[in-house]
């Protein structure tokens, strides 16, 4: 018995591509497509085989994210966040919690959602006998809507500690708003989640070692960044392929260009050279960063701060390249494809809108500062939720 990942990825991408343009226009919740993702069997891609998952490394998992993002970066986002939540349990939780939650994830076919935006400190918790009670809210909770399970975070009122726990999405007191309506990434349901006396039991608090608990736990931010990198890169790839296809099949030479086909236009060739080079450098560095992540992952608790720092630097390099590639290629696709590419039914502006929205996750300028501090001063990025 073998699961053909490649075939399932290809099938899923074809399914999502069918109406990706239409769904971008309407936005909102992608009930059906979430089920397609679930049915693909790929939700367990990153879950170790000992828990029944497909046990793939990050390089493979992130390449699948990238491929999905090429056709539908909203679904890629939800899909990737599944793996981020799964990994969070492995980064922050005990072996027993991992066994419990991940086995169930496989068996119950859980789709995980995110309610732990670390930049939003409006959710607060108090300790009670059974565990903690959470009140307040979190913004940008991508994938919470429609999820089976959630990772939730809050600051303890008593000591300010940042804690993360796992709960069923239908846990009493959880209200998931439908307030996400952005110019891009329109079906990520990245809205607000509100908590009213929401209980997280002791067993489901990920405290061993918990956030910032070890160099290995700090590797979570590197994984989170690598997901962004691969979504940006998928967008760049998708835009590039559309640009190439449109130019080859539809573009006409300019009236006084002196060439008989657009494919021979000297300036279009030049533009394609730079688009290709931007895509290619971003791709090579995303893959290098993924390999470094895999090597660090294998070290588990033996991971040192230095080794984690090396991964963080690789992520910054790849992030800057992917960020720029996604924006530049998605905008320049129109320069090469020409005015005909602006027809609304083609929806080719969605690459730029998706990239533009998602690249604001954390500022490029501070990625550059981190990289500069490493390049000039030999200082690794300070471990935070973003670096």
Q: Scan residues 93-122 and list those touching a copy of itself (CB under 8 A).
A: 119
Binding part of the chain for a copy of itself, among 104-112, 166-174, 303-311, 371-379 by CB under 8 A, reads: 371-379
* Nearer CB in complex with a copy of itself: 50/245: 245
Residue 366 interacts with a copy of itself (CB under 8 A): yes or no: yes
In whole angstroms, how far apart are CA 380 and each of 92, 344, 385? 22, 45, 15
Instruction: Please identify which residue in 102, 371, 380, 383 interacts with a copy of itself, judged by CB under 8 A.
Output: 371
Residue 167 CB contacts under 8 Å (≥ 6 apart), including other chains: 149, 150, 152, 174, 198, 199, 200, 204
d(CA 349, CA 331) in angstroms, rounded, equals 8
Identify the residue among 45, 200, 321, 329 touching a copy of itself (CB under 8 A).
Answer: 321
Smallest separation (angstroms) from a copy of itself to the CB of 328 = 9
- 312 is a contact residue toward a copy of itself (CB under 8 A): no
By the rule CB under 8 A, 257 interacts with a copy of itself = yes
One residue of 110, 138, 348, 380 binding a copy of itself per CB under 8 A: 348
Assigned token pair, 303 = 């991971």
Exposure b/e, 158-192, CB count within 10 A at least 16 = b: eeeebbbbbbebebeebebeeebebebbbbbbbbb
Which letter does DSSP use for residue 361 in this model? S
DSSP-derived secondary structure letter, 384: S
Which two three-digit tokens encode residue 355?
């990239």
Separation CA 315–CA 282 (nearest Å): 11
Q: Taking a C-beta distance cutoff of 8 angstroms, is the pair 315, 226 a contact?
A: yes
Minimal distance, residue 383 CB to a copy of itself, in Å: 11
When binding is defined by CB under 8 A, the residue of 41, 281, 294, 295 that contacts a copy of itself is: 281
Query: Which residues share a beta bridge with 149?
Result: 112, 168
Q: Which window, 103-111, 160-168, 215-223, 317-325, contacts a copy of itself (CB under 8 A)?
A: 317-325
Of 3-11, 41-49, 91-99, 249-257, the window that binds a copy of itself (rule: CB under 8 A) is 249-257
Residue the block writes with tokens 């320049």: 332
Q: How many residues bind a copy of itself (CB under 8 A)?
A: 75
By CB under 8 A, which span of 65-73, 146-154, 302-310, 345-353 interacts with a copy of itself? Answer: 345-353
Identify residues 14-73 at the interface with a copy of itself (CB under 8 A). 27
Q: Can you state the angle between helices 5-18 and 31-39, rounded to 10 degrees?
A: 170
From candidates 320, 322, 325, 329, binder to a copy of itself by CB under 8 A: 320
Query: 3 vs 254, which CB is nearer to a copy of itself?
Result: 254
DSSP one-letter code for 6: H
Q: Which of 247, 289, 296, 325 binds a copy of itself (CB under 8 A)?
A: 247
Per-residue interface string for the shown chain with a copy of itself, residues 147-186, x marking contact by CB under 8 A: ----------------------------------xxxx-x
Could you say whether residue 369 binds a copy of itself (CB under 8 A)? yes
Q: Answer yes or no: are the C-beta atoms of 49 and 17 closer than 8 Å.
A: no
């Amino acid at each position: 018995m073998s699961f053909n990942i490649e075939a399932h990825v290809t099938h899923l991408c074809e399914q999502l591509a069918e109406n990706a343009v239409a769904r971008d226009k309407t936005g909102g919740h992608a009930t059906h497509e979430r089920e397609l993702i679930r049915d693909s069997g790929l939700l367990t891609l990153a879950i170790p085989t000992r828990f029944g998952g497909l046990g793939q490394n990050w390089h493979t998992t992130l390449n699948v994210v990238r491929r999905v993002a090429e056709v539908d970066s909203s679904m890629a986002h939800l899909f990737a966040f599944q793996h981020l939540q799964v990994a969070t349990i492995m980064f922050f939780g005990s072996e027993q919690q991992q066994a419990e939650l991940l086995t169930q994830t496989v068996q119950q076919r859980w789709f995980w959602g995110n309610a732990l935006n670390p930049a939003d400190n409006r959710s607060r918790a108090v300790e009670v006998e059974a565990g903690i009670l959470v009140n307040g809210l979190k913004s940008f909770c991508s994938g919470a809507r429609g999820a089976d399970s959630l990772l939730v975070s809050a600051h303890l009122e008593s000591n300010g500690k940042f804690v993360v726990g796992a709960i069923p999405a239908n846990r009493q007191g959880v209200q998931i708003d439908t307030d996400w309506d952005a110019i891009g990434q329109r079906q990520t349901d990245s809205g607000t989640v509100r908590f009213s006396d929401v209980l997280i039991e002791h067993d489901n608090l990920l405290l061993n070692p918990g956030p910032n608990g070890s160099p290995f736990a700090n590797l979570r931010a590197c994984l989170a960044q690598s997901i962004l990198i691969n979504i940006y890169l998928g967008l760049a790839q998708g835009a590039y392929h559309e640009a190439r296809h449109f130019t080859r099949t539809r573009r006409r030479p300019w009236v006084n260009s002196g060439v008989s086909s657009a494919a021979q236009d000297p300036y279009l060739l030049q533009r394609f050279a730079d688009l290709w080079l931007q895509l290619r450098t971003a791709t090579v560095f995303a893959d290098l960063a993924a390999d470094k992540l895999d090597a660090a992952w294998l070290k588990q608790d033996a991971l040192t701060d230095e080794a984690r720092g090396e991964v963080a630097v690789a992520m910054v390099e790849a992030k800057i390249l992917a960020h720029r590639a996604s924006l530049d290629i998605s905008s320049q696709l129109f320069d090469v494809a020409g005015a005909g590419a602006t027809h609304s039914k083609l929806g080719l502006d969605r690459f730029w809108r998706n990239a533009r929205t998602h690249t604001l996750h954390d500022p490029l300028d501070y990625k550059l500062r981190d990289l500069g501090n490493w390049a000039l001063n030999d200082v690794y990025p300070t471990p935070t939720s973003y670096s």
